[in-house]
Amino acid sequence: MKTSKLYILLLSTLAFASCTKEMTEGLDEVNVSVVTSETVTAEGSIITVKKETPVEFSFAGEPDFITFYSGELGHQYIYRQRVENEESDIVSSKLKFNIYQEGTSYAESTGRYTNCIDVFYAFSDPENGVEGFPGLSKDNFDADSTLVVDFWKAGKWKEICPKAEYDNLGTNITVAKSCELDVKDFVGKNLVIAIAYNKEERPNPSVNGKNATTQLKYYFDSMNIENLLRNNNVTHQYAGEFMFTALNFNHENLYNQSIKDDDKGYKGNDWTSVSSYLPDDLAYGTVTANVSGMWNMNNVANGGFYIHSTGSAYSWKTAWLVSDPIKITSCEPDQGVSIKNLSQDIRSYSYTYENVGTYRATFLITNANYKHDDSQVYTVVVNVTD
């Protein structure tokens, strides 16, 4: 092997003002090169490599920080600050998510119907007589809970998938049900997503003389809006950007029942053992543990969240999750990978491209401390072949 003296195209140098040499020293000697071999060749600023073959980049000088952008979708340097797509650039826009359950399903005919989930949407289009969801106050639970239920009873929430399709869901992510909604026509129309858990407020079937039944646990995975652009790029806006608000029905009564009092004969309920995990705001709060009938939003930034089950010996719960109006054109900025910081001494970095294509591999190199803050951007074209 040899190191090609490849002077990778310097796209830009972002040097901050300085008045002494000391404040700018450190990047003058920095260089990025590629280790060439029989399978990795260099011609000018273009690298050619077969797919699934590692490309090794080596670094000279003393940079403090190095961030790598591979040039693949979601990892392009030029889109690192992009947070919104132009509407005219969007070819298609789809809301996508996977859903699965934990627990045993029973059909409606048994009197122990366990399907407790609905996923709705609403949008505003006054010119065509479509009324949008007016939004939650987030400080008046009685008004907000009445609003979402009345909107449902009036038939204004629209189903993303028919309820019957959730009757017998898979019990792990590999067999989850995939749901999809075309939302391209809803750009600028106040799209709102709502998820209802036991919207009918059905009691445990044991109340009606049937066998006591566990209320199911539901998992949502990878909920996001995926936009396909004219340049074939794909951007994602995950559910963490939807600004969901939980509505926990009957929370005051459930909390009061959770307080054990031997003198009064109060035995507690399924919240008793997890009382330390209950949110301060019982009306609108979410949790970070397993609490029956409450939403756990720990992984919502990646589109994942769930609502925990209720054991067969306890009262069934009702809860909603309602988004703010969603800006469909929004997207996540492309991400780089930090490959060096001040505590590391990195002299090389290897990356493998799995797919054929042409990529602009970019290194953002920075020296930053109290005396100076300089940056340089190095880019090389990587042509990946079969």
* Beta pairing partners, 381: 46, 360
Distance (Å, whole) CA 356 – CA 370: 43
Encode pLDDT of 299-352 as tens digits: 999 999 999 999 999 999 999 999 999 999 998 899 999 999 988 988 999 999
Shared domain check, 301 and 177: yes
- Assigned token pair, 5: 């003296």
The answer as to whether 258 is a domain residue is yes
Q: What is the 8-class DSSP label of residue 370?
A: S
Let me know whether 213 and 176 are in one domain.
Answer: yes
Instruction: Tell me which residue range forms the domain holding 114.
Output: 87-322
Model confidence at 9, pLDDT cuts 50, 70, 90, reads very low
Let me know whether 44 and 97 are in one domain.
no
- Does residue 186 share a domain with residue 148? yes
261 and 121 in a common domain = yes
The answer to whether residue 331 sits within a structural domain is no
Residue 327 lies in a domain: no
What pLDDT digit, counting tens, does each position of 340-356 carry?
998 898 899 999 999 99
| Token pair 């008793």 in the structure block, residue | 272
Q: Are residues 302 and 343 in the same domain?
A: no
Is 302 within the bounds of a domain? Answer: yes
Q: Does 113 lie in the same domain as 23?
A: no
Whether residue 315 lies inside any domain: the answer is: yes
In terms of domains, do 259 and 212 share one?
yes
203 in a structural domain: yes
3-state secondary structure 311-349: CCCCCCCCEEEECCCECCCECCCCCCEEEECCCCCCCEE
How many C-beta atoms lie closer than 10 Å to residue 264's C-beta? 8
Question: Is the per-residue pLDDT at 20 higher than 70?
Answer: no
Q: Which amino acid is at 212?
A: A
Q: Based on the domain organization, do 249 and 269 belong to the same domain?
A: yes
Give the CA angle between residues 159, 174, 233 to the nearest 5°: 70
Q: Judge if 144 and 232 occupy the same domain.
A: yes
pLDDT tens by residue, 269-289: 999 999 999 999 999 999 999
Number of domains in the chain: 2
pTM: 0.77
CATH code at 55?
A: 2.60.40.10
Q: Is 379 a domain residue? A: yes
Domain boundary among 271, 296, 322: 322
Q: Name the token pair of 381.
A: 């074209």
In this structure, is residue 328 part of a structural domain?
no
